[in-house]
Amino acid sequence: MAAMWQQLAALFFILGGVLSFPLGQETHRTATCGYESCHATKSNMLNVHLVPHTHDDVGWLKTVDQYFYGDRNEIQHAGVQYILDSVVDQLLKNPDRRFIYVETAFFYRWWKQQSSSMQQTVKQLVNEGRLEFVNGGWCMSDEATTHYSAVIDQMTMGLRFLNETFGPCGRPRVAWHIDPFGHAREHASMFAQMGYDGFFFGRLDFQDRTRRMMEKEQELLWRASDSLTAPMADLFTGILPNGYNPPEGFCWDQLCDDPPIRDDPDLEDYNVDDVVKRFLTIANSQALVYKTNHIIMTMGSDFQYENANLWYKNLDKLIHYVNAQQTNGSMVNLLYSTPSCYLQELHRANLTWALKTDDFFPYADDSHDFWTGYFTSRPALKRYERLSNSNLQTCNQLEVLAGPVSRKGPFGKGDSQTMKKAMAVAQHHDAVSGTEKQHVANDYARRLANGWQHCQVLVSNSLAALSGSTAERIYCDNLNISVCPLTESSKKFSVNVYNPLARPVTWPVRLPVNGTAYAVSDANGKSVDCKVVPVSRVTEEVRRNRGFAANELVFQVQAPPLGYSTYSVSRLQDGPPPASMQHRTPTAIQNKYLRVTFDPDTGLLSSLSNLETKQTIKLTQNFYWYNASDGNNLFSNQPSGAYIFRPNSSTPFIISRTAKTESVQTSVVQEVRQWFSPWVSQVVRLYSDSRALELEWTVGPLPIDDDLGKEVITRLDTSIKSSEVFYTDSNGREVLQRKKDFRPTWHLRQSEPIAGNYYPINSRAFIKDDMDQLTVVTDRSQGGGSIKNGSLEIMLHRRLLYDDVRGVGEPLNETSGIFPKGLVVRGRLLLSLDRPPSAADTHRPLAQEVVLQPLLTFTDGELHPNTRLEFSALQAALPPAVHLLTLSQWDKDLVLLRLEHQFQSWESKLNSQPVTVNLQKLFSTLEVLGMSELNLSANQWKEEMSRFDWTPQTDGKPLPKKFKDPSTWEVTLRPMEIRTFLLRVSLR
């Protein structure tokens, strides 16, 4: 593809003119793929679309590589390489046969191992629509615990491989999330913006399904944004009839034991008449709960088709014998099909469809079986995934800003690709979700660590090029537990602070040190206020013997947009002593923005005030645990597990009514350290320049010697009159309203008063009334709810003793070499108090800071005098409403850029307005020579993206609105809009 890009670049990039997407091979002349390759249907009959498919988890009970090779079959019999071998072989035997494939992570591995003649054969199958890709991302991402930026990245990666390998015929028309456990509105919005014509899934709440079956609303139009103009985020959505399994009695895989079709009347047990009769009964009853004379059946399941002959031989016969009944007056017509061919028939039906504007959380498959535990499961992996995303975006940006030297420079060969693949795999619905076996969770973490090793070389090379200093750079990945060998021992060192946000950032730095006094100066040599505080006992316990610092050096740094600043630190011989600890609870801590009070009797928070807006709320906060059900009770034998949250009482146990406290107050930071029990502690922290209160919690090892599984929450109780309503974000973007014991689309019969009111929180949740809004920004995905008025609870950690019988076959009971008695987890919640109309002006940028946090690198000793101590890649900071979402190298001269409006249309008087950005005046170090706009997943030119249009029942068909930009280089972003560009650039 690279060569072709270069020839086209000159033509295609002159002022953004658009040509067809450059493809690897000239196939489109002969291709009849996609909608043109569908088998004919019969308008006067019930058409049954049989869709042969396999569902291949990118890691679950086995690691992704074990699944690919078919290793460790004693755990689960599954080998993806053999599935693809077998399917291709069987497709060639009958041109009518069809197959769909989904997970590009596996297909890519398989493709690399094929001979060129096999690759040609497969291209032919794709060009004829016999092998069709659906969804097409690197994996089928989880929808509850993923962040939108990582989902966009993994979809872009998978779809790019398909585009470059197969051209237009490799582009999936349909999104396919048959297994994720509940469905997020933001995912539907992203799929719509990626150009998909429709979306199919398998799982939804059992009560929701019952109602939809009765009303024939299992196919609907999902309006997935309240800010983007319809139909920009409208997505036709179909709910599959059997999850993603075949109808009962019709599974012909080697993993199944249904009887084959025995069609020789001379042999024993002839069963054609029985099979046909049973099938017609199933088809006719399925037709009663769908709207058109077309129905779909998923013929396949987990890791099926390893011996595809079994399936296809029986499907060929099924189609033949059922259709033969048409001569006897049967009105049922069977055909090999794909989700897109089925979708095309629904579109041709030209009906109106029920409109949905909320989401599909939480998901329950029975009265006491709410899949809301995985919102928090494996909290350490969830944090590591989020941190890895931050590191990857920094790695991507620096690869662009430093050019080719980043990949091959003074520190060796670096790359971003390893990390991209590791992050893409981590988005899978059994990865970051926390629903995999322990050895698989370890493998996901190992991949991320390996990816970061590759990125570190690239980052070091880039910073060397930008700063002119090739001094070695040290990375300290354990700063959250006060471990960094360099700062602990060095008398003089410098700290480089790289800021991946497109606006300047102020950030607190805490470095483990053994000295008692230090001097810190910024890039201009100006002295920076810094203080030394003692390391807490809790931190000493958590870090075990990984570090030995007695103190922490605390100061605030500022870094320019998309750039770095350098601070130098020197140990002083005879400076003032470290700040001393007070062993009583202070009545209050405050800075110029916030004031927090404590109850002297309990040591707990008692109020929070915003000094700028002159508002105060009562606020108490404590830690509790729900006793996890072990499955032995009157109503149901469902235990709590990796997927399912089922407390055996609605009243949690309080861990301690009082906290032992000590406090330290300095000009840089004030903190109250609270100790609740040997396994729960917290630091309430206020930095001098911060508009947010930090709660740094440390939880674990959860004790289980009483044989009770524990689900630990923190609960904030306030004076806010929230009327049983609270708000959560969807995948880190749009905010949705949640109401206790309520679902917008059906009358809920609530049977789990706690678990049935839990929702995913990806980056923030809030409660509000007319006067006050308390927003909590999280550092990872967590589950939470508002069970009582004025209250918000967030689940932090879980340790369970039983498997919840959903297939993982293992209790969620995490230990490690460092923590053999149970995992200890540490994290941060950031609290802000504002007037509701302006709250988003605080929480939007705050949440982006937590997602894309500055990267600190360290250099020992004095820096060379010619070192460039400050750098920004932007000519000016972007406006507050605009977020730079993606800046990554596409190929030699091309860069992928995504700009995003990060406010909803109703959220802020100030920032919910359109904003215009000039792309030519964006970068200080890159010259933008040309640009062209793409769809969100960067696999189609924006101008060429056309989607099926659908009419909702309630109002008329929305007409696509075209907004015009002010000029060629100026792009206007409207609330919640993401725009994606390929830029042709050269380094200035």
Beta pairing, strands 970-973 & 915-918? antiparallel
Does residue 217 sit in helix, strand or coil? coil
From the list 574, 620, 938, 601, the residue with the least C-alpha distance to 791 is 620
Output the DSSP codes for 612-624: TTTEEEEEEEEEE
Token couple for 280? 């017609």
- SS3 track for 758-772: CEEECCEEEEECCCC
Instruction: Measure CA 380 to chain center.
Output: 15
Chain length of the chain? 988
Instruction: Give the burial class of 667: count Cβ atoms within 10 A of its Cβ; 0-12 exposed, 13-18 middle, 19 or more buried.
Output: exposed
Selection from 171, 179, 155, 132 nearest residue 342 by Cα: 132
The beta strand positions in 754-881, using DSSP E, are 759-761, 764-768, 773-778, 782-785, 791-799, 825-834, 855-860, 870-872
Q: Can you tell me the distance from the alpha carbon of 738 to that of 749, in angstroms, rounded to the nearest whole number? A: 16
- Provide the β-strand partners of residue 370: 364
- CA 179: distance to chain centroid? 15
Judge whether 179 counts as a catalytic residue: yes
What's the rounded Cα separation, in Å, for the pair 822 and 927? 53
Q: How many helices (H) and strands (E) does the chain have?
A: 17, 47
Amino acid at site 967? S
Place of tokens 């079986």: 369
* CB contact burial 922-957 (16+ within 10 A = b; e otherwise): bbbbbebebbbbbbbbbbbbeeeeebbebbbeeeee
Q: Can you read off the two tokens belonging to residue 177? A: 């999330």
Q: Which two tokens stand for residue 720?
A: 């806010």
| Of 144, 169, 172, 176, the residue nearest 156 (C-alpha) | 172
The DSSP bridge pattern shows strands 530-534 and 551-559 to be antiparallel
Please tell me the distance from the alpha carbon of residue 940 to that of residue 943, in angstroms, as a whole number. Answer: 8
623 and 676 in contact (C-beta within 8 Å)?
A: yes
796: helix, coil or strand?
strand
For residue 702, give the DSSP letter: P
**Which residues does 636 contact at the CB level (< 8 Å), separation at least 6?**
366, 367, 368, 369
Candidate list 56, 179, 430, 772, residue with the active-site label: 179
> Between helices 148-166 and 104-112, what is the axis angle to 10°?
40
d(Cα 209, Cα 597) in Å, to the nearest integer?
Answer: 48
**Tokens 């002083």 — which residue?**
572
Residue type, 579: A
Contact by Cβ (8 Å): 774, 766: yes
3-state SS, residue 51: strand
List the one residue out of 375, 372, 379 whose CA is nearest residue 698. 379
Sign of CA pseudo-dihedral 199, 204, 210, 211: negative
| Amino acid, res. 584 | R
Residues with a catalytic annotation lie at 179
